[in-house]
């Protein structure tokens, strides 16, 4: 408790090596709150500063924390090809409104090994004209990989954009059997 009798927000983090590079995983008591690509020292420090600012608590490195151990285990199993779905509590406090609605639909309605178009996903949340807004929501996804924005593609079959880079998106889709494994 803090000096005002309120429970402080505890934010813990760890970096996990994956087939697409290091991922920063951060969690609160509510659940996994953030996944950040390319978690080099500079990227990690910037992400932790943003989390501290947004959540009002200085994140602490604690890979053994009960708040993180299951998330780490599931992420490692996913990249090893041993897990298809994530079964983790999620803290949605970094996203709200339309973005949260789209990401929730994505998490529950687009299973492993499938893809969905931006426009189709927009239609599923009642905004059939909102393909671009869905693209913006994908770019704002605080929980990539776990909330699988890599499964959203263009209507004409193009791969679309991806915050982790197109090579990471291709590797994730190959891992899930949607694309062939890259040759190199």
The structure tokens listed for 123 are: 């239609």
As annotated, the active-site residues are 149
Other Cβ atoms less than 10 A from the Cβ of 31: the count is 17
From residue 167, alpha-carbon distances to 11, 31, 163 in Å are 30, 28, 11
The DSSP bridge partners found for residue 16 are 23
Three-state SS letters, 119-131: HHHHHHCCCCCCH
Written as six digits, the tokens of 138 are: 């994908």
CA proximity to 168, closest of 35, 2, 5: 35
Distance CA 116, CA 173 (A): 12
């Amino acid at each position: 408790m803090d000096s005002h009798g309120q429970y402080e927000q505890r934010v813990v983090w760890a970096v996990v090596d994956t087939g697409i590079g290091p991922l920063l995983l951060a969690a609160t008591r509510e659940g996994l709150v953030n996944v950040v690509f390319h978690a080099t020292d500079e990227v990690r420090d910037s992400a932790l500063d943003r989390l501290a600012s947004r959540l009002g608590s200085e994140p602490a490195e604690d890979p053994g924390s009960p708040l993180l151990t299951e998330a780490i285990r599931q992420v490692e199993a996913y990249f090893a090809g041993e897990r298809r779905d994530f079964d983790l509590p999620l803290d949605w406090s970094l996203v709200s409104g339309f973005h949260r609605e789209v990401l929730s639909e994505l998490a529950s309605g687009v299973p492993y090994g499938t893809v969905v178009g931006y426009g189709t996903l927009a239609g599923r949340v009642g905004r059939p004209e909102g393909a671009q807004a869905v693209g913006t929501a994908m770019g704002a996804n605080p929980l990539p990989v776990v909330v699988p924005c890599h499964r959203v593609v263009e209507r004409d079959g193009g791969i679309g954009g991806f915050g982790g880079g197109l090579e990471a998106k291709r590797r994730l889709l190959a891992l899930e059997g949607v694309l062939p494994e890259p040759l190199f």
